[in-house]
Amino acid sequence: MAKAKKKQAASKDKAVGKKAAAKKAEGSKGGGKKKASAEVPAVEEAGADVKPEVAKKGGGKKKAAAEKAAKKSGGGKKAAADDKAGGKKKAATEKAAKKSGGGKKTAATEKAAKKGGGKKKAAAAEKSGGKKKAAAEKTGKKPGGKKKAADEKSGGKKKAAAEKTGKKPGGKKKAASKKAKGNKKGKAKGATLAETSDRHVLYQLSVQSPEADIEFFADRYRELRGREPKVLREDFCGTAFISATWAASADDRRAVGVDLDEATLEWGREHNLARISEDARSRVDLRQENVLDGGGEKADLTCAMNFSYGVFKTRAELRRYLEVAHASLADDGVFITELYGGVEAVIEVVDEREIEGSEGVDDFVYVWEQASYNPINHETLCHIHFRLKDGSTIDNAFTYDWRLWTIPELRELLYEAGFSSVRVFWEATDASGDGTGEYVPTEKEDNQESWLVYIVAAK
């Protein structure tokens, strides 16, 4: 499996270096919904932004009024007496004005503004710095984290940056000014990379490595059946990247890809199928159908990757799907899927990973956001965002509204659906505790910050 595990390069983001997740929910696998933002803003409490000029203005009015009154009252006296009287009254008035609130308000306001602003600035910086530091120190494997680099094997835990930005009160004018400048700049230079980049291309570069997937599938099938698998069914296939790769990998391999979203299937035909030979294309059957309907050629192998079955949020719904998957297999067929979990799988978090560009695409940043999690029903909302080289972003490029299933739940349902054996494959580790990129069957493991497993069910 040394060759197979090229996909394991992002062990922090995606399950001990092996996988990427978050493919798409049925129908959103390639055409993901657009939702919340790439970052979780931490909005600062509106603060004491009181301007000291207000106090000065109030004090100045009192001073002017007092001077006017002083001059009027001394109108019939000689200049020297007038000056003397006016001066005394002016001094008295200024003193009274300061005492009544002019000077004190100014000083107090300036002090409050400085104190409030300073505290907020310090607190915000401290909070932001602490979060960044904590995020950078975290290790684990997040869904959607595998790198595509074919010769790169992950094994170790990798650090991921999770930054949260804060919105500062009173910053609207500044933001508007920057936006206006940005618009002028954009008009001069043309469209941003976010406007011209293809989200499906970015997704495939970030989280898919079909060569490694199909090698794992074939190895498991040979172990169980002693022969080569010929027909692969890819449920929730989206852009059919795995199906196209499977058909191109051998002259006698055929693939059936099933997805609800026709636009995403068409993108796969124009990009992924177009890259393989005409003969290989003729052996790929893409079907715009519901995975619950079955249909298509009976398969030796069926895969449901990137947690797409999470769209089924009740036991009855998921069991129904697994029963259909069982019926769509040949008599000695094998069903393979994957599952993620760990202590960090159930918290709100934002992880970032730099992706090396390819085929005319500049380097960019992949952002995985776990926006919410409900411990009562295990429902979770996640997003994928992309930050491009020119600073522009594609927010909510893909959104996933799933139930986060557990290993025992999924195993029980597979048995109930009719499978005779269900094995869990966990990533092996070396002497230092780093992942090797090799997945082995196991029945007992320690929990981790995050992990990803393969589930292999034999008919």
Give the domains, in start order, of the chain with CATH numbers. 4-38+199-458 (3.40.50.150)
In angstroms, rounded to a whole number, what is the distance separating the alpha carbons of residues 242 and 268?
10
Strand extents, DSSP E, 342-445: 349-355, 364-374, 379-387, 393-403, 421-429, 435-441
34 residue type, one letter: K
Residues 6+ apart with CB under 8 A from 382: 22, 143, 144, 368, 369, 370, 371, 399, 400, 402
Most confident of 16-30, 150-164, 183-197, 243-257: 243-257
Strand extents, DSSP E, 152-309: 231-235, 254-259, 284-288, 299-304
Most confident of 169-183, 262-276, 426-440: 262-276
Place of tokens 């007496």: 81
Residues 6+ apart with CB under 8 A from 203: 30, 384, 397, 398
146 residue type, one letter: K
pTM: 0.64
Helix (H) or strand (E) holding 241: helix 241-249
In angstroms, rounded to a whole number, what is the distance separating the alpha carbons of residues 445 and 443?
7
The DSSP output letter for 161 is B
HSE-up (13 A, CA, CB side) for residue 144 = 29
The predicted pLDDT at position 435 comes to 81
The predicted pLDDT at position 345 comes to 95
- Mean pLDDT is lowest, of 78-87, 211-220, 333-342, 449-458, for 78-87
Q: Is 116 left (phi over 0), alpha (psi -120 to 50) or beta?
A: alpha
The residue among 436 and 98 whose pLDDT is bigger is 436
Given a cut of 90, whether residue 78 has pLDDT beyond it is: no
Sign of dihedral through CA atoms 267, 272, 277, 281?
negative
* Measured distance between the N- and C-terminal CA atoms of the chain, rounded to whole angstroms: 24
In angstroms, rounded to a whole number, what is the distance separating the alpha carbons of residues 142 and 199?
20
Residues 6+ apart with CB under 8 A from 119: none
Buried b (16+ CB within 10 A) or exposed e, 373-395: beeeebebbbbbbbbbeeebbbb
Q: Are 166 and 41 in contact (CB under 8 A)?
A: yes
Q: Are 55 and 98 in contact (CB under 8 A)?
A: no
Given a cut of 80, whether residue 162 has pLDDT beyond it is: no
Given a cut of 50, whether residue 305 has pLDDT beyond it is: yes
The predicted pLDDT at position 144 comes to 55
10 Å Cβ neighbour count for 252? 9
Give the orientation angle of helix 52-73 with respect to helix 102-137, to 10 degrees: 170
**What backbone phi and psi angles, to 5 degrees, belong to 428?**
-75, 155
The DSSP output letter for 34 is P
The predicted pLDDT at position 38 comes to 34
The predicted pLDDT at position 360 comes to 87
The residue among 53 and 301 whose pLDDT is bigger is 301
The residue among 432 and 75 whose pLDDT is bigger is 432
HSE-up (13 A, CA, CB side) for residue 431 = 0
**What backbone phi and psi angles, to 5 degrees, belong to 350?**
-125, 120
Q: Are 86 and 70 in contact (CB under 8 A)?
A: yes
Helix (H) or strand (E) holding 196: helix 193-196
